[in-house]
Structure 1
């Protein structure tokens, strides 16, 4: 509360000027000093330690932006061994990127989503080339053709818009080049992991140029199916392949010096079944007892036995059917027009996504439960903003945003007890219409003081329709709800010295309300869930020089109606095997903490970087949570128990996390030898399910959280040699060198406690070229 009081006192001094924005936090690249737009001071010449960001819709040095940002350049991505989006947590303090089933769910400073299912969206927004990515499955991508990543921490309700209560992850891919450019990289590693990356760009005619970037990954995966006979290796086979393909094409027209038009087509495919390959490790259900024929849904020979479960090891499973794949086709158009008083920008995007969701929740070869769905999604978005720079000592952006999404799961079905007998079928449609107007501006007062204020008004209309069939029940639902919010922002920044700033900020964030989308025979479950809102206060310090960079920030967040959800048995299903996703609102939650990151050039060609965060994130008032408890008398789980999570740690919010890395280059054999390494540490945290053991587990365990991951460390390293002339590269790499194993999935239900682990130690060779 002391931090909040000081921040309120600082912000009360601010003379607010009205402005707002749909920020596209774009490339974190080194640029020419003339690109800087930081008035009133003339920008000094840039050096090798400069990082330029456009998080406030204008090119600024990172240390001049009053927002907590981890800016990751293409070089840092390569030097850190970062391959996938979920690896970002290894170099960004206070960030966790975990899985909920097949869904990738980022967390920033303890803010994350616990709602699962198609049609739901994260509360840490993801943007690629300025376009909002609504799907939790297709964002699970490798960073093959990426030029930079920025993690904006804290609510971006004014600057970034919808569903950004926790922050935003902004990805930029490679753009067309003015000269003929071609490059490629290939690697081969453990688990038959093959990766190819290529890029080509060239001018076609005066004012016209194109680029094509492609990436492919194909790996057998590290999980083995134990087959029908858990005691024999003869029928074992590799499952859960990792596959990722992306093609990004851009065609840029520059008909005049003031007009630029870029057309893009993006194709992406990803398959990653790990989040749905459940491995039951404890608290088996009663029908898993050998010889039990009374409670087994199938005749005894087909029923799962304890041997099926006990044969599971860290990287082995026994499953009936698993498939988590998605493909996306996206068409984009960007227009930038310099009007003389500012730049008018238009972003138009249409995307079509298709997914497959198939999993066997009981984690056995027996046909006890099966869920099948093929969701389809169509989205359209339009952003129009006007960045005005003709007003003396004022930077101003005004604009509008429109978003339309249609999500449909046309042929979903659930099977229980026998795969040939469908227990239920459903067709779900979820529609979203969202719009916003915004303005954001900064007033330059003298040479040292900067005041920023902005606001965004958002409104959304959600519609839920579904048809549900059950052996004896048919239900139809058609409901809609409207949600709206105003999210302001206010910042004061003072320049203590050149490239050294302090700031204090106040902001609000808004995550739209949703419906419980899991179709049920009981329409009472189809209720709208309140919007999630956050009020945030932050103070920060940033400084940079030619050889050193440091920034630190402290924050205090208050949540209202945090949206959370867990799986529970459908009460209308007599078998108790069908699961539905129940969503509710945590009345109140809170997060506060401190973080810092630094980069230092120790000697020429030796760079070190480090970061750390302390987070205290707790549910303050959440007495009606739905959790999975334990009955110690029967050694089985109790699903759907009402629990009090007040005072418990929020999911994906480790109290401590940190990272350290280095890169070093030295001349060798006429070329250049580059050595790089990165390490990260994470303290204990709740992976995805904050459930308690509950009163049926006994007083000693009752209030303890069940599904926690203990602390762990990860280390990556690589050595590359660049041939004379810089055109060819060969090297070796190692990921998770300490072979640390931690759970990417950890939860439980009627079939017991289940989990899935991260990839073990991997290593390989790579080679590349560029012209």
Structure 2
């Protein structure tokens, strides 16, 4: 019977999840709980696999097991019994036994997260709301191995200490961001609010085979809602302190029998900043100044075998986050010191404006027992950044950057159905991008009238998983990448190019110790592209490389009311790219090698109906193994002679992070109540290689309480984020003399009320 249970479970993960994930092909919205029945031929397949697994056993024992198996197969045929319920992730619902059955596409096919041999943190739309996660930067509050810095106008995510502070529009992060399978490369576009989200998956570690491009640290995979043929309307109004107004709207409907479309709109405005510029009176730290985001997706079904998704998005985003002198420091230029928590002393207002958008077409085509997927995408970015780089009321170093970026990508994948012992996927990826400054102004003069980097990258990849036995799988994958980059600086009559070839791979083994306990181990290699430093023409840098050794165990216990996942990793990180701030710009160097290892764990429990508890932790140890030529500066920006930073902590690598949440839902005589509480403790980390500028330890606490009248589409929720008003930082850095140290503080305590309607 153990063989029967295991093969039934394998059939669930290979077939049932595909059914749940692909139920939208005919335009129907994926249901939260999708019951299905095993077909006769599926029962036969299980019977055949069982028969094969009995090879080598005694004839009498084999006959007895076959008889038992045959009786069980009859019980599984249509109209006699249904198989285990598969729970969709769209609404964050739980299975009848408790915990939700999460479906991910980390291997480019729909699989239960518990059956995928890698570390994955997954959040449904409901879970994001419960934890107070409203933007990409908030993800660090629910993924302990993730930190998210915010230098100038770019987002810099780090997973397990692997990330980048590079700020050019062509400086792609080693933590790759995908939205509906479209690669979103420019770091300026990694900061946005999360609306119409179905699910977010954070894949830790190098994803050098199936995702490949610049995914050394990992992948943040965002899936938005698919349009429904049923009329769907979600709208809400949020008002919070600092006169924060947020109005998201989502509507979906059928246009024809074969076409459904949706529209997502988000308007945000913060009427009052967190602080003020003490010199010119402008408000600072306004996170939204009449911001608008639009997204529309069309779902077109051409018969049972062809599905087309066409998507378009646009955003216009403005903020006034400002740099300031840290506590205890004095500006060498003006003599001004720390101006107050969110205040600034600049003669020029710091202001970031971003316009970004794109279109994509995803075609899913069944070809016999094969699935063919084509993803075509075009994206464009236009940004303007005004920055008082001297952090003083004297007009010594005022910068204004006009940034442009565009990209075109084409990916094609072919995979089998996964019903056999061998599951495989092969594909090709083409990427072409160009970006630069036009112009880069220093004190109003064009330091760089125009420059650009063009990148052309071609990759071929494949990955296969073979079921050696009913409980043991071997996975192997390869990706070959060729990339060429060309830099042009017309004013300096400078043109240069560089190219690279890289082979990355994945090797993994996993074994189901029981149907609900998976053990795995893997070896992965990834690389991040080199490039050109656009702020300092002539400064080129080479790719960086990472080898990852990882292992873990995933388990579900007590009728799936308890989930415990544990894992460990070891990184050999070489040729690291590091950003060295200097007056009016920066220098990028390949200067470091490091070793990073850690242990991660997650516990989820459903102790009783309606109550959900979870906690997750990460313990990390990151040290530079070699870093000759590292720079140590004092608070005024004076540099000491270069030294070898061997033994220093790697940047953005907390030694210990733990998070937890509790949510409780129950009915009363006056309606339905949802209560949630979540928190995270971060032990702190360093922003700079010399380990002088530090993020001290901090604790964030979020809470919410919602009420819905009985049989009503209305919902009222009061909420608070950072209840204890903890102080932590978007970034800290040291600029050369005479500027010295500068910092940006992260959000204070915020609270408000949300009124929503959904039907």
**Residue 683 of structure 1: how far off its partner (Å):** 0.6
- Cα distance between partner residues in 2 of 1:131 and 1:450: 29
- Cα distance between partner residues in 2 of 1:149 and 1:450: 26
Alignment length (residue pairs): 678
Residue 189 of structure 2 aligns to a residue whose secondary structure is coil
Residue 637 of structure 1 aligns to a residue whose secondary structure is coil
Pairing partner for 2:502 from 466, 481, 485 = 485
**Which residue is 2:79 aligned to?**
none
**Residue 128 of structure 1: how far off its partner (Å):** 0.5
**Residue 365 of structure 1: how far off its partner (Å):** 2.5
**Residue 33 of structure 1: how far off its partner (Å):** 6.2
Pairing partner for 1:585 from 586, 590, 601 = 590
Residues 578-657 of structure 1 aligned to structure 2 (within 5 Å): 579-625=584-630, 627-630=631-634, 636-639=636-639, 642-657=642-657
Q: 1:495 aligned to 2:509?
A: no
Residues 38-437 of structure 1 aligned to structure 2 (within 5 Å): 44-46=84-86, 47=95, 48-49=98-99, 50-220=101-271, 222-228=273-279, 235=281, 237-238=283-284, 240-243=286-289, 244-274=291-321, 276-279=322-325, 281-288=327-334, 306=335, 308-310=336-338, 312-319=339-346, 320-389=348-417, 392-415=420-443, 422=445, 424-437=447-460
1:509-536 residue CA offsets vs partner (Å, 9 max, x unmatched): 011111222235xxxxx14312111111
Q: 1:734 aligned to 2:720?
A: yes
CA contact (8 A) 1:735 1:762 kept: yes
- Cα distance between partner residues in 1 of 2:374 and 2:523: 28
**Residue 56 of structure 1: how far off its partner (Å):** 1.0
Residue 148 of structure 2 aligns to a residue whose secondary structure is strand
Q: 1:532 aligned to 2:544?
A: yes
Kindly report the root-mean-square deviation, in angstroms, between the aligned alpha carbons of the 2 structures: 2.4
Q: 1:717 aligned to 2:703?
A: yes
Q: Given the two structures, how large is their TM-score scaled by the length of structure 1?
A: 0.84
- Cα distance between partner residues in 2 of 1:261 and 1:542: 35
1:38-70 residue CA offsets vs partner (Å, 9 max, x unmatched): 997997333252111121122211110001000
**Residue 605 of structure 1: how far off its partner (Å):** 0.4
**Residue 364 of structure 1: how far off its partner (Å):** 2.2
- Distance verdict in 2 for CA 1:151–1:134, change over 3 Å: same
**Which residue is 2:467 aligned to?**
444
- Distance verdict in 2 for CA 1:241–1:69, change over 3 Å: closer
Q: 1:756 aligned to 2:744?
A: yes
- Cα distance between partner residues in 2 of 1:732 and 1:499: 38
**Residue 283 of structure 1: how far off its partner (Å):** 4.3
- Distance verdict in 2 for CA 1:322–1:563, change over 3 Å: same
- Distance verdict in 2 for CA 1:29–1:141, change over 3 Å: farther
- Cα distance between partner residues in 1 of 2:504 and 2:446: 45
**Residue 324 of structure 1: how far off its partner (Å):** 1.3
Higher strand proportion, which one?
1
1:192-220 residue CA offsets vs partner (Å, 9 max, x unmatched): 11111111111111111111111122114
Q: 1:556 aligned to 2:579?
A: no
- Cα distance between partner residues in 1 of 2:282 and 2:309: 50
Residue 140 of structure 2 aligns to a residue whose secondary structure is helix
**Residue 321 of structure 1: how far off its partner (Å):** 2.7
- Cα distance between partner residues in 1 of 2:621 and 2:591: 17
1:355-390 residue CA offsets vs partner (Å, 9 max, x unmatched): 011101112222111111211111100000001127
Pairing partner for 2:536 from 519, 543, 554 = 519
Residue 111 of structure 1 aligns to a residue whose secondary structure is coil
1:261-311 residue CA offsets vs partner (Å, 9 max, x unmatched): 11111112222332x5334545435443xxxxxxxxxxxxxxxxx2x435x
- Distance verdict in 2 for CA 1:53–1:35, change over 3 Å: farther
Q: Given the two structures, how large is their TM-score scaled by the length of structure 2?
A: 0.86
